[in-house]
Amino acid sequence: MALVEQVLDGDRLALARLLTLVENDDPQGLATLDALYPHTGNAHIIGLTGGTGTGKSTLVNQLARYVRQQGIPGNGGAARQIRIAVVAVDPTSPFSGGAILGDRIRMRDLAGDPNVFIRSMATRGALGGLALRTRPVVQTLDAAGYDWVLVETVGAGQSEVEVARTAHTTIVVDAPGLGDEVQAIKAGILETADVLVLNKADLPGADRAATALRTSLRLGPSDSEAGNGGWQVPILMTVATEGNGIAEVVEAISRHRTHLQASGEWVQRVRLRVERELRELLAQTLLASLLDRQPEGAFAEIVNQVEERKLSPRAAVAQLTQQARA
């Protein structure tokens, strides 16, 4: 299987081709991913989420630039050079592929670096959840030897929370002055955060916003309840456009990994992630298989009956699953 070796050898074109195959559920692509699976498990998967207007993408670009130039804190304090992949998930776009998001253009200075890989991923109209679609892409990049796989999602809806949960470390980005509703969102999204970043910290209201974040954090579940093994969520101030505060974010991410591994939570998170992935894949597979086994037109006929309110959705499902068992 040539593609497997090419990807393990660091062939970027082969990697890009494999990602496209994997994203399209191509059988060869999925078989290649199966073969690569034993090579996964080394990457530090970092989810980064936040509302519109927080300057999230600029922050991601600066993080990538910083870790390529400075490395990350290694054992004994010496910097460690790493390879970084960025997956920019755009739930509103139907186009996947290279670095196509408008603001990717800012990463031009990283474009020639063989140890940076940027991939835009569109999930609009995709079947299954966001996590179901991004996971194989992340696994491919993990197998390809990227030390950090940073998954950036737009917005703060449930699907973003879902993606955050598939990561080892979740960064939530906020900015001052984003309107009243943000407060309400924060209250929930905060609990998924391992690292909080207040970007655009040079804007008026930054101190007030940081205080609000600190208060919200205190109002959230205490450390013991949240089961995060004593991790104190840091609130970091950045001005991504100027590169200010980036070093501190990189340091916090590295420190969080050390904490997860020391507390045993790393293993726990991986286990939860694997279990969730299996459940989702199973559900999709079982559904496809049941529908395949229906006589032609049978499912459409049941849809008709529900549409005409002769059958409730639950009764229809009971009928279909009993048939399958008989």
Please list every residue from 32 through 91 that binds a second copy, using CB under 8 A.
Answer: 33-34, 37-38, 40-41, 51-57, 90-91
Q: Which of 115, 24, 72, 50 minimizes the C-alpha distance to 258?
A: 72
- 92 binds a second copy, rule: CB under 8 A: yes
Among 111, 287, 298, 301, contact with a second copy (rule: CB under 8 A): 287
Residues of span 302-321 touching a second copy by CB under 8 A? 302-303, 306-307, 309-317, 320-321
- 281 binds a second copy, rule: CB under 8 A: yes
- 203 binds a second copy, rule: CB under 8 A: no
Q: Minimum CB separation from a second copy for residue 38, in Å?
A: 5
Q: Which of 104, 99, 138 minimizes the C-alpha distance to 119?
A: 99
Residues of span 260-279 touching a second copy by CB under 8 A? 270-271, 274-275, 277-279
Among 80, 108, 124, 214, contact with a second copy (rule: CB under 8 A): 124
Q: What is the DSSP string of 162-210?
A: HHHHTSSEEEEEE-S---THHHHHHHHHGGG-SEEEE--TTSTTHHHHH
* H helix or E strand, kind and range, residue 240: none
Q: How far is CA 227 from the centre of its chain?
A: 21
- 29 binds a second copy, rule: CB under 8 A: no
Q: What is the largest CA-CA distance in the chain?
A: 70
- 100 binds a second copy, rule: CB under 8 A: no
Q: Minimum CB separation from a second copy for residue 42, in Å?
A: 10
Question: In terms of CB distance, is 133 or 259 closer to a second copy?
Answer: 133
CA-to-CA separations, 177 to 156, 157, 182, in angstroms, rounded: 17, 20, 9
Long-range contacts from 2-11, C-beta under 8 angstroms, 24+ separation: 3/28, 3/32, 4/32, 4/35, 4/36, 7/32, 7/36, 7/140, 7/143, 7/144, 8/36, 8/39, 8/143, 8/144, 8/145, 10/114, 10/144, 10/145
Return the range that interacts with a second copy (CB under 8 A); candidates 4-12, 228-236, 250-258, 285-293: 285-293
- 205 binds a second copy, rule: CB under 8 A: no
- 156 binds a second copy, rule: CB under 8 A: yes
- 217 binds a second copy, rule: CB under 8 A: no
Return the range that interacts with a second copy (CB under 8 A); candidates 183-191, 208-216, 229-237, 248-256: 183-191
